[in-house]
Structure 1
Amino acid sequence: MPSIYDLKPRFQNLLRPCTAWLARHGVTANQVTIAAVILSAIGGGLIAAYPTRPWALLSTPVVLLVRMALNAVDGMLAREFGMKSRLGAVLNELGDVISDVVLYLPLALVPIVPAWAVVAFVLQAVIVEFAGVVAIQIGSPRGYQGPLGKSDRAFWMGAMATLLAFDILSPRLAMIALVLLTTLGLVTMVKRVSVALRNQQETV
């Protein structure tokens, strides 16, 4: 199944001039990574504080788009401008998970959204990223496979927040959407684990 992650090279090309400008002005990859986490916390905080306000929900797709740009920029700064570090690798993985949790979990406070479904979705998001990282533990490349990676989650949750803002989703539809996304997340987890195990077997 195609993933939004496949569009990453084109997205990076659009951001390359901005990335070069940041590098020239002394901005580091780690600073950009931390900025993405802070931005996500602000976005989640707006929803937590104003769960019934359309403008707070509409901030979510904007935050997600900027966060995706920051994630692309920090990777290019690290790879193309010699900023790779062990700390950066740790911040990158932890930052993605923390950002997902602080941005998506407050949606459980939106009145028409089933809180348990949001919690289940966030839990699978954490597990999916863990499944990608654990591949390294057995000697395989970091896993990004599957139909609901980080970029896909961002797209669908941004779309859901937009629909909620315009009062288009009913509680039932919101629940069905979250259950479907959580199921796709579990499929993604299985895919990443199976690819990691296959790669590991091929190298033995």
Structure 2
Amino acid sequence: MDGLYALKPWYAARLGGVRATLARRRVSPDAVTAAGVAAGAAAGAALALVRPGPLAGVLVALLLAARLACANLDGALARETGRTSPWGSVVNELGDRVAELAVLAGCLALAPAWLVASAALAATLPSWASLAGAAAGGPRPQGGPAGKTERCLLLALIAFTGWASPLLAVIAAGSVLTAAVRLARIRRSL
């Protein structure tokens, strides 16, 4: 049940040239993480300020593609350039959470605050489950029925359609299910 996460190796290969350029220019992995947060915040602003439809959909989709590219590049760049560190891992995780919450905050212009807050809280659960498993010495499962990539796709659909409430409910329920699937994987391995 890796979902769209199964495409990560293919996507990472497509970003190889960008990663090599960043390495040559000695760009910090933390700067790439910050760029991902900025892309997430810009996607949230677009959700809030651009009327749902093709323009909003394309804009949000492009910004979320940039956010996912940064999420893929920061760790790979750190490994490739020998700049991995425990603190860099913390920055990476915090950056991922902040970027996603910033995108979801844009939905406050389209849906009730309680629903946006529920989706935002639920969207953090898959990562917390994976991090808890890793902290216990188990695997750190990724993907799932509503992993990060699927949630980005759903947010782009919100921008295209304006169907914020039903799609936020899908994000919330799918995130809870994803966390449960990851916890089951972790439990079996421990």
TM-score by length of 2: 0.89
- Relative to 1, partners in 2 of residues 1:194 and 1:145: Cα closer, same or farther, differing over 3 Å? farther
Is 1:176 aligned to 2:160, yes or no? no
Counterpart code for 2:149: S
Q: Is 1:51–1:109's contact at 8 Å kept on the other side of the alignment?
A: no
Counterpart code for 1:80: E
Partners of 1:181 and 1:25 in 2: how far apart?
A: 37
Instruction: Show the counterpart of 1:61.
Output: 61
Instruction: Show the counterpart of 1:185.
Output: 175
- Relative to 1, partners in 2 of residues 1:145 and 1:42: Cα closer, same or farther, differing over 3 Å? closer
Instruction: Show the counterpart of 1:120.
Output: 118
Q: Is 1:145–1:191's contact at 8 Å kept on the other side of the alignment?
A: no
Counterpart code for 2:69: A
> How do 1:1-204 and structure 2 match up within 5 A?
1-48=1-48, 50=49, 52=51, 55=55, 58-110=58-110, 113-164=111-162, 169=163, 174-200=164-190
Partners of 1:72 and 1:160 in 2: how far apart?
A: 23
Backbone CA RMSD of aligned residues: 1.9
Partners of 1:59 and 1:133 in 2: how far apart?
A: 31
TM-score by length of 1: 0.84
Unaligned runs of 5+ in 1: none
Partners of 1:101 and 1:53 in 2: how far apart?
A: 19
Q: Is 2:43–2:106's contact at 8 Å kept on the other side of the alignment?
A: no
Q: Is 1:146–1:192's contact at 8 Å kept on the other side of the alignment?
A: yes
Return the offset for 1:143: 2.3
Q: Deviations over 1:8-61 (max 9, x none)?
A: 00011011011111101111211101111122223323444x264755564221
Q: Percent identity?
A: 31
Return the offset for 1:92: 0.9
Return the offset for 1:122: 1.0
Partners of 2:149 and 2:57 in 1: how far apart?
A: 19
Unaligned runs of 5+ in 2: none
